[in-house]
Structure formats: structure tokens, C-alpha cells
Amino acid sequence: MPVQSKICRGAAVLGASAVGLGFVVPQASPSAARAAASTASASPASPAFSPSTGIASCAVAGAVSFAAARRAGARSTRARSSTNARAQRVALFARGGEEDTRVCIPLEELRNTDVDKVGGKSASLGEMISQLSDVGVPVPGGFSTTAFAYKEFLDKGGINDFINNQLSDDTIYTDVNKLMEVGKAIRDKIMDTPFQQDFEAELKEQWSRVSGGDDKFTFAVRSSATAEDLPDASFAGQQETFLNVMGYEDLKQKVHLVFASLFTDRAISYRHDRGFEHEKVQLCATCQKMVRSETGSAGVMFSLDTESGFKDVVFVTAAWGLGETVVGGTVNPDEWYVFKPTLAEGKNSVVSRTMGSKLVKMIYKEGGGSEVVDTSEEEQNKWSASDEEVKALAEMAVKIEKHYGRPMDIEWARDGDDGKLYIVQARPETVASQKKVGVIEEYKMLEKGGEKVAEGRAVGKRIGSGKVNILTSIDQMAEFEKGQVLVADMTDPDWEPIMKKAGAIITNRGGRTCHAAIIARELGIPAIVGCGDATDKVKKGDAVTVSCAEGDTGYIYKGEYVGICGQGPSDHPDLAKWLMEQGIDSVSLNPDSVIPTWQFLGKK
């Protein structure tokens, strides 16, 4: 992330509505805002804030406009003391580059440059709300706790030394049982430590602002780490998410659980493997208005093909109910590919669609929380989104990608009450977009595979083989040995500590956009998801080969077969001849999908 001056970030906090400067002045009262606007109208015009404009002019303009608001606020007997205290902190931050000590910030005031302040998720949501709402990308509002609040919680609660002592034993990264013990000890310590009173007061004020004090108002409470949603590390699903959170007390508890989730076993392992120092990562909680998709549908989309890296398509997935079934891998979703060039021309752009089984859906529970229930036969045999909705989603994905300047991984939801589509999260895609430009890398087996025992959706293009180990619970992680083929009903990010040891991964459930699939791509491990009955088709100890090198469909073969990798330039003068020389002669002959043709003839 580009490092921006603290002075400029301070000016940016002042937002986008006062004095024609591009700033929002935190209002002590309505009269304070009117007085500030009056003062500003008599002042010389100044340029709007931009990371590329002069830092000094931004800070001075922000401080001047803010000072006007503060003077007006001082004359108002109705100003609330908590608001004034917060305003003083923001003013100090704007004037001198002091640390912003707010513990909660409305999403609407955040920008993508605020990752170090509120984490990747909250910063990205704030960016989209402020920059993309007017161009047809609706994002629900809310607020975020801050990295400052998290650091204060750990410091004043005396938790840091405990965490450092627990993580000082390097054997936890090779011993799954030790990792589980350490993770639980740290999470318990965090949950046993109460929040400070000033944090609770601000948390309740923000809850009241967004909910209007309505205990029936529902929030989604998600983690937002200062090291996540990066171009080369997604941190997908490493911390916790809570849906249908009702009432202040429930929200406070879920924020506490989110704080503790920085030290889930999977998150500890993930950070260590990618070289992130635990003590340098802070966790924030994104508290966002829930979209009522329990009576609608939801899913994930990527602004490129996840398997080939081809950038002229949008890959959309959907299922009934809340989107956690798609991201969590508990459902086999519907899939669509939308071709960007014809989408831009207003022509028919849905070039491929695959109906998933959608056997379950997640809905709200009465009184808060959620539950997974079976779908009806009608739902299983019906598309969970129309082609028109898919095209509308693809248009949003293109706008988001253009704004961020890179391929994006986007979560969306359709509200069953108003029928509208909403974007609830967007982060950089971390695998396909990082591939070598101008290089083709393809895999094939040296000899023809044996009997096909199962098939599903291929994740990646690699080939892996080994002895099967079927696990029914993460409690069995200690039984898994390096190089084995992991077979399970489903995997989620909790399985990351053993996924990285696997020679290949096979699951009954899940789609190619779920968190586990994203992790498998980052790890470079071949995975086949959504097989339906793989746990019944193979037995523990069986030798199998997992091939993701044959198009969209992945195949599991009996026996172990050797795979090879061919690599060459994508601009080779005779690409077809080169591929055949590598022994890869059936690339465009696979009837399952048009994607293989894109991989070789249209790769950009």
C-alpha cells in the first residue's frame, strides 16, 4: 500500500462536504455546521483533497475549515461533549500529523488510503461508498472500529506480553496440536479482558447512529485487518464474520469475538507462512447494515477468470440465501462467465453458465444469528440469479476494477425485500493477476490416467497425487501427513494449517470462489471442489491422482501418475506447434468449456 503522509490522511478524515474543499467537518451541532459553511464561503477557495495534491495545502485547508466549525460549535450550548472531544482529536490530527485516536469511524468517512487505520475491508468499503455510489455501485453503510482502538485494548488490558510469550515457541508452526492450544489460550485471554469504558461509549454511539436505536436493526460484523486484502495475500476467511447481529449488546459481543479472531489457528499459521509479524497486525471490526438476502440470493464474482488469469471476463457465482454458503464452501453455486467486450457494447455477453446443486442455503434465525437449511427442489433446479442480474453485477465489477486499477474479488447480495443488488465487499484478486505476464504454464500427465473415480470443479491447473486421507473434522488434523491427498466433505479456512501440507485437495462441496479455493490457489495446490460424493468414492490409503489440467472439470483417477509442466511465451509465433511439442495437444478440444481457448489464444 502506498504510504501517505499523516498530515494528508488527517486532512482526508475531514471528508467531502464542507467549504467546497472536499472535506466533511465532524459536526458538533447543526448550527456549528451552518456557521462553518458561512465562514468558509467568505474564505478564498482551496483545491479539493487528493493524494497527489500538495500535502501542506490539504492540511492547512482542513485545519482552517475545521477551526471554523470548532468556533461555531463552542457557541452552541447543545453540542455534545463526546462529539467535541472527538472533534478535538481530529483537529489535532489534521494540524500536526498526530495519531488519529478515534476508536470508531463511519464508513462514509473512510478511503482506500486508510488501511493502516481501519484495515483493508473497512477502507475498501469506505472508498466504494464515497467514490462509486454515484456511478451505480451501491454499498451498505455502517462504521468501523480502528487499529488505534485495538492497540489500546491490548495495551491497557495487559495482553501483549501474554500473546508474545505464547507465540515464542516456533514448534507451533509444525505441530498442529500445539498451534490449537496456543490459539485457544490467546483467544480466551482476549475474551476474558473487558473493553475500556470510552471504547464502549463510542461503540454504542455509532450503533445508535446507524440503527436509530432500533434493537431489531441487523448488522453484519466482519473482521478488517491492517494486513489483509493485499494484492499478493488475500487473508480470505482468516478471521471471523457474524451475520444478523441484533441490538447493541449482541454487537458488542461480536466485536469482541472479532478482536479475538486475529488469533484463530488458521490466521496464526497464515501470517507466519507469508512472513507477517503477528505484533504488527491490528484487527478492526467492520459493522455494516445487513442486506436481506435470506429471501434473495448472494455470491462472489471475480473481474477475471480465476483459473487462467484471462482478464476479459467476469466470473460470477450465486446461491440462494446469505452469501456465507458460497464463500464458506458449503454449497455448490451457480456459475456464469460474462465477456467484457460485448458487455460494453450492450450485446449478449453471458457466454457460459453452469447450474450448481445448491442443496442448502443460509437464512436468518429468529432473534439473531443464522442457520443452514435445505433448499427446495424448485430452488435446486432454478437459477439463483437472472441473466440480467448477472450482467448488472458484471457491470459493477468492471467499474470497481477500473477504479482500483486491478482485478478484484467481490462479494455481492440481492435484497429479497427491495430486489436490489448490493456490493458488500471488494478486495484485490491475489493469484491469477500475479502470474507472469507473457508466459504460458500448462500441465499434463506423462501417461494416460486410469479409472476415473470422481469429478468436480477444478481449482488451478496443476496435477497432484498421493495417498488418500479422509478427514471428517478439523479435530483430526494431527492425523494428516505431509504429501497426502486431503479428502473432506468441505474445507474452510480453519483447515489452512493442513491444506498447506496436502499434495492435493478433494471436497464434496464448495465452488471455485469459496475461501478454501482461494487459499488453495495461493498455496499452488491442485484442488477439486463440489465432487458431491468423493468421500464415498475413495478410501483412506487409496493412491489417486488429482488432475486440474483438463479444463473446468477436474478428475480424480485411481493410481499415482506423474505430471509435467510445459512453459513458454504467450506470443510464440506458432503457439499451437509449441504446445504440441510440449505434449499438450488437446487444449482447445475439451468440450467442457470455452475457457481453455481463452487461456491460449486470448490471454492478456
Distance in angstroms (rounded) separating the CA atoms of residues 40 and 68? 8
Which residue in 221, 208, 218, 515 sits closest to 364, CA to CA? 218
Distance in angstroms (rounded) separating the CA atoms of residues 17 and 20? 7
Name 70's Cβ contacts closer than 8 Å, sequence gap at least 6.
28, 32, 87, 88, 91
The secondary structure of 215-280, three-state, reads CCCEEEEEEEECCCCECCECCCCCCCEEEEEECHHHHHHHHHHHHHHHHCHHHHHHHHHCCCCHHH
Count of helix runs (H) and strand runs (E) in the chain: 20, 22
Name 34's Cβ contacts closer than 8 Å, sequence gap at least 6.
72
Which residue in 102, 457, 466 sits closest to 306, CA to CA? 457
Residue type (1 letter), 257 = L
Annotated catalytic residue: which of 256, 272, 403, 515? 515
Strand partners for 428: 408
Angle between helices 248-260 and 176-191 (to 10 degrees): 140
Distance in angstroms (rounded) separating the CA atoms of residues 337 and 350? 6
Rounded to a whole number of angstroms, the distance between the first and last alpha carbons of the chain is: 25
Angle 168-172-176 (CA atoms, 0-180°, nearest 5)? Answer: 165
Angle between helices 55-75 and 81-96 (to 10 degrees): 160
Distance in angstroms (rounded) separating the CA atoms of residues 228 and 120? 6
Distance in angstroms (rounded) separating the CA atoms of residues 77 and 98? 28
Q: Which three cell numbers stand for residue 31?
A: 448550527
SS3 28: coil
The DSSP bridge pattern shows strands 563-569 and 313-320 to be unpaired
Distance in angstroms (rounded) separating the CA atoms of residues 30 and 438? 57
Give the ranges where 513-574 is alpha helix by DSSP (H).
515-523, 534-537
SS3 288: strand
Q: Are 386 and 372 contacting, i.e. CB atoms less than 8 angstroms apart?
A: no
Name 327's Cβ contacts closer than 8 Å, sequence gap at least 6.
236, 237, 300, 411, 513, 514, 515
Burial 342-377 (b: 16+ CB within 10 A, else e): ebeeeeebbbbebebbbbbbbbbeeebebebeebee
Distance in angstroms (rounded) separating the CA atoms of residues 477 and 480? 6
Q: Is 278 a catalytic residue?
A: no
Strand partners for 401: none
Distance in angstroms (rounded) separating the CA atoms of residues 379 and 296? 11
Chain-centre distance of CA 319, in angstroms? 18
Q: Which residues are catalytic?
A: 515
